[in-house]
Amino acid sequence: MSKIQDAFKNGKAFIPFITAGDHGIATTERYIRTMVKAGADMIEIGIPFSDPTAEGPVIQAASTRALSTGVKIDDIFDMVRRLRTGNDAITIPLVFMTYVNPIYVYGCEKFFAYCEAVNIAGVIVPDMPFEEKGELQHFASKHGVEVVSLIAPTSENRIEMIAKEAEGFVYCVSSLGVTGMRSEIKTDIKSIVDTIRKYTDIPVAVGFGISTPEQAAAMAKVSDGAIVGSAIVKIVAEHGDKADDVLFDYVKAMKAAVAQA
């Protein structure tokens, strides 16, 4: 079993996202521990980037705030190393959400070697077309890191091709457009997930637009888990470095909703 699939071994998974360095790297580190205590099964750590094309205004603003603190990729690796060591070491899977440019600028071999060193289980690269996945796959596979594939509502004719090559889990995008909270999700997610499952038996988790326990439960009911980003990032935006209690309660409620789906 892959490291990522450990997140799904006990049932439906709740996967929160947080932008590294938003209100300082020490705050991010503390919030990751808070979300783990609240029941998160896996956490996506966003590497801030100046041109996050897949992100809506909430996460774009978080990237801007993080970059304004001077946070670097090395700082994020150091944070993960601290999270992974000591008596209170985090053991759940951690994955990076990033873009092609930061990886190439940092250096592919160096990036994935460090991912292996600090036990990053996978990477999600939303601006990397499936056809170009091989450019990163070589370095990632060499260091035991899984490259997570995304399947969107517009992927109909490509689902078989993407799903057959997928590893870790399939990130099923619930809505067209960029990330962000939505009052309702109109996409027929069940149909997409059912199609994906014709071609792979790895878990499928749904993200983009989920913000309420009801939405999380609905998505988890037809898949293997729910991913939440903008709603988490909004809590951090509103409460700064004092979001611990609110974040804990939110993640706990979302995990409960997903678990009961």
Residues spanned by the domain of 164? 4-259
- Enumerate residues 6+ apart whose C-beta is below 8 A from 95: 4, 42, 43, 44, 45, 120, 121, 122, 123, 124, 148, 168
Q: How many domains does the chain have?
A: 1
Task: Output the pTM of the full model.
Answer: 0.94
**pLDDT one-digit tens code per residue, 212-255:** 999 999 999 999 999 999 999 999 999 999 999 999 999 999 99
Q: Give the DSSP H or E segment for 71.
A: none
Confidence of residue 152 (pLDDT cuts 50, 70, 90): confident
Instruction: Determine the pLDDT at residue 4.
Output: 97
pLDDT at 92 over 70: yes
Which segments of the chain does DSSP mark as H helices, in order? 25-37, 57-68, 73-84, 100-106, 108-117, 134-142, 159-165, 189-196, 213-221, 230-239, 244-259
**pLDDT one-digit tens code per residue, 114-134:** 999 999 999 999 999 888 888
pLDDT at 177 over 50: no
Task: Enter the tokens of residue 198.
Answer: 């014709």
Q: How far is CA 19 from CA 95, 144, 199, in A?
A: 12, 23, 32
pLDDT at 187 over 70: no
Half-sphere exposure of 97 (CA within 13 A, CB side): 26
Instruction: Determine the pLDDT at residue 135.
Output: 84
Q: What is residue 48's three-state secondary structure?
A: coil
Distance CA 256, CA 251 (A): 8
With beta carbons less than 8 A apart as the criterion, state whether 76 and 47 touch.
yes
Pairing of strands 43-46, 13-19: parallel
Which segments of 3-56 does DSSP mark as H helices, in order? 25-37
- Average pLDDT, stretch 25-43? 98
Q: What is the DSSP letter of 38?
A: T
Give the length of the chain.
Answer: 261
Task: Enter the tokens of residue 27.
Answer: 């705050």
Distance CA 99, CA 229 (A): 16
Q: What is the CATH number of the domain that holds 8?
A: 3.20.20.70
